[in-house]
């Protein structure tokens, strides 16, 4: 158990547990949630070193569950008197008229963490850390410019963060952990004549700064991919649109972002409790093609979206959402599970101590299939191979989506053709996925991703193997 926050408050775990239980005894549940986050980032933009960003953000909140009502008090810092004031305020909130809910807990945090508990900064002084990071940024900038004379600009950023988290639940349980995170972002611009193209790569994973520094081969490979993608797009031709294309999505983030947005959000329990979900009332029904199996899994080792316990203090689970095309489960926090009389899945997440938890995805992925990518492409008479998506719009209630392709190739009679630009793909998550006709065995889970919902952002990942949608399942927009 991380003792940083307890030490700052001057309380033992037992003392704090009794204080919280006393404060929340008028409700059905709730928790004290506290975090302390240290952050450092440094950017090199077009060879110019920017001012570093350094921050230490700490504070907490107390939530009491009164039926479906959740009074909430926020305080900044770790001062004991601010905590005491918050506990006193929440204890005086009237019970209210909301009906009592029967809350359940999903177990305890794992004995072994899903990611390292080592200090992201490894105890080094800030000026020493900054020197290491600046050397890395300049090395990456130089490497990119050496690879191609058309490289006109390179932006590269490193961000390092570490967070102590403490949760004290109304049932008396006390949980704490430390979570490190390192993020690397690179964007490369190529100019050839009057044409300009850019491409970016990024990842954010729970490890320490030395692990980042030792991953130089991986970082250079990211630069290589940026240059390759931008170079290919310099030769790209305008894309044709229509509703008679088959579409192959590449593995990992490419098709995974569509899965997350157009399907995953429709499985979040709060939307179902409000009767507005795109997959409302479809449990037990076919919502995807045979062979499509989807999990929401907060237990993937070293994944960006994983956690040892959610922000209500419940253990994450590997939750089956779609089984061979049939909808079988939902993503729930304590309130949605109670409202729907469904299992709690440990998906109560929040952006910070200033926010209330709600059902959120963590790592959402489709199981690998048996086909190969070559087989999927080889079966397409007329279509597109979408290797990268960036940006788009999704209506969570209807599951209608439009996603913009940034790296796309034509497929003609089973052969990859020219790179194209201006491709968009549109569909409806609760219909289009019934028309998947192939999933490949090249499964990947992304190393990047943020999910926004109701003004809150949380880290997530998504994944799958390459997949093929039948002709007409998606409407393709073009620029020709």
Q: Would you write out the chain's pLDDT as a tens digit for each of its 480 residues?
A: 568 999 999 999 999 999 999 999 988 899 999 999 999 999 999 999 999 999 999 999 999 998 888 999 999 999 999 999 999 999 998 876 555 556 666 666 666 899 999 999 999 999 999 999 999 999 999 999 999 999 999 999 999 999 999 999 999 999 999 999 999 999 999 999 999 999 999 999 999 999 999 999 999 999 999 999 999 999 999 999 999 999 999 999 999 999 999 999 999 999 999 999 999 999 999 999 999 999 999 999 999 999 999 999 999 999 999 999 999 999 999 999 999 999 999 999 999 999 999 999 999 999 999 999 999 999 999 999 999 998 778 888 899 999 999 999 999 999 999 999 999 999 999 999 999 999 999 999 999 999 999 999 999 999 999 999 999 999 999 997
Those residues with Cβ within 8 angstroms of residue 142's Cβ, 6 or more apart along the chain or in another chain: none
> Is 433 exposed, middle or buried, given 0-12, 13-18 or 19+ CB atoms closer than 10 A?
buried
Domain identity same for 297 and 383: yes
The answer to whether residue 319 is domain-embedded is yes
Establish if 2 belongs to a structural domain.
Answer: no
Residue 30 domain-assigned (yes or no):
no
Contact call for residues 190 and 231 (beta carbons, < 8 A):
yes
Residues 245 and 223: their CA atoms lie apart, in Å, by 32
402 and 290 in a common domain: yes
Question: Is 52 a member of any domain?
Answer: no
Do both 330 and 294 map to the same domain?
yes
My answer on whether 314 and 457 are in the same domain is: yes
Cβ atoms 415, 446 nearer than 8 A = no
DSSP 320-376: EEEETTEE---B--HHHHHHHT----S-EE-SSTTS--EE--SEEEEPP-SB-HHHH
Residues 287 and 401 in one domain: yes
pTM over 0.85: yes
Closest listed residue to residue 315, CA positions, set 294, 292, 345: 345
461 belongs to a structural domain: yes
Report how many domains make up the chain. Answer: 2
> Both 283 and 423 in a single domain?
yes
The reply to whether 145 and 275 lie within a common domain is: no
Do both 368 and 466 map to the same domain?
yes
DSSP state letter for 440: B
Which residue range forms the structural domain that includes residue 135? 126-165+180-233
In a domain, 47, yes or no: no
Residue 222 domain-assigned (yes or no): yes
Asked if 221 and 253 sit in the same domain, the reply is no
Same domain, residue pair 369 and 422: yes
We report the CATH number of the domain holding residue 144 as 3.30.300
My answer on whether 317 and 362 are in the same domain is yes
The verdict on 212 and 285 lying in the same domain is no
For residue 28, being part of any structural domain is answered with no
């Amino acid at each position: 158990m991380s003792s940083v926050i307890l030490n700052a408050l001057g309380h033992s775990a037992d003392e704090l547990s009794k204080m919280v239980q006393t404060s929340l005894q008028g409700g059905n549940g709730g928790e004290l949630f506290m975090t302390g986050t240290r952050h450092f980032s440094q950017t090199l933009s077009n060879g110019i070193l920017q001012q570093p960003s350094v921050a230490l953000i700490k504070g907490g909140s107390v939530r009491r569950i009164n039926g479906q009502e959740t009074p909430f008090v926020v305080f900044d810092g770790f001062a004991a008197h601010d905590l005491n004031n918050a506990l006193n305020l929440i204890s005086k909130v009237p019970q209210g008229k909301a009906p009592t809910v029967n809350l359940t807990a999903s177990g305890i945090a794992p004995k072994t963490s899903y990611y390292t508990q080592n200090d992201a900064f490894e105890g080094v002084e800030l000026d020493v850390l900054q020197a290491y990071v600046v050397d890395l940024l300049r090395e990456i900038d130089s490497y990119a410019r050496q690879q191609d004379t058309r490289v006109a600009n390179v932006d590269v950023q490193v961000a390092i963060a570490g967070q102590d988290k403490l949760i004290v639940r109304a049932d008396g349980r006390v949980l704490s952990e430390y979570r490190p995170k390192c993020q690397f972002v690179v964007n490369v611009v190529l100019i050839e004549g009057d044409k300009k193209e850019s491409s970016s790569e990024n990842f954010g994973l729970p490890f320490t700064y030395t692990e980042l520094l030792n991953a130089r081969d991986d970082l250079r490979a990211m630069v290589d991919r940026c240059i390759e993608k931008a170079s290919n797009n310099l030769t790209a031709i305008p894309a044709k649109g229509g509703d008679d294309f088959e579409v192959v999505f590449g593995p990992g983030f490419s098709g995974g972002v569509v899965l997350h947005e157009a399907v995953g959000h429709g499985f979040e329990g709060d939307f179902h409790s409000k009767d507005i979900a795109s997959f409302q009332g479809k449990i037990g029904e076919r919502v995807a093609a045979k062979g499509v199996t989807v999990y929401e899994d907060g237990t993937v080792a070293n994944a960006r979206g994983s956690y040892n316990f959610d922000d209500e203090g419940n253990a994450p689970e590997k939750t089956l959402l779609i089984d061979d095309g049939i909808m079988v489960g939902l993503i729930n926090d304590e309130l949605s599970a109670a409202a729907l009389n469904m299992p709690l899945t440990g998906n109560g997440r929040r952006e910070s101590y200033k926010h209330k938890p709600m059902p959120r995805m963590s790592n959402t992925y489709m199981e690998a299939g048996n086909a190969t990518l070559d087989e999927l492409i080889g079966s397409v008479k007329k279509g597109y191979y979408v290797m990268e998506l960036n940006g788009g719009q999704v209506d969570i209630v209807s599951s209608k989506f439009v996603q913009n392709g940034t790296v796309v190739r034509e497929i003609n009679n089973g052969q990859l053709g020219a790179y194209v630009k201006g491709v968009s793909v549109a569909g409806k998550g609760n219909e289009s996925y019934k028309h998947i006709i192939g999933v490949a065995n090249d499964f990947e889970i992304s190393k990047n991703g943020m999910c926004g919902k109701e003004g809150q952002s949380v880290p997530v990942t998504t994944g799958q193997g390459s997949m093929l949608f039948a002709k007409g399942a998606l409407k393709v927009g073009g620029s020709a």
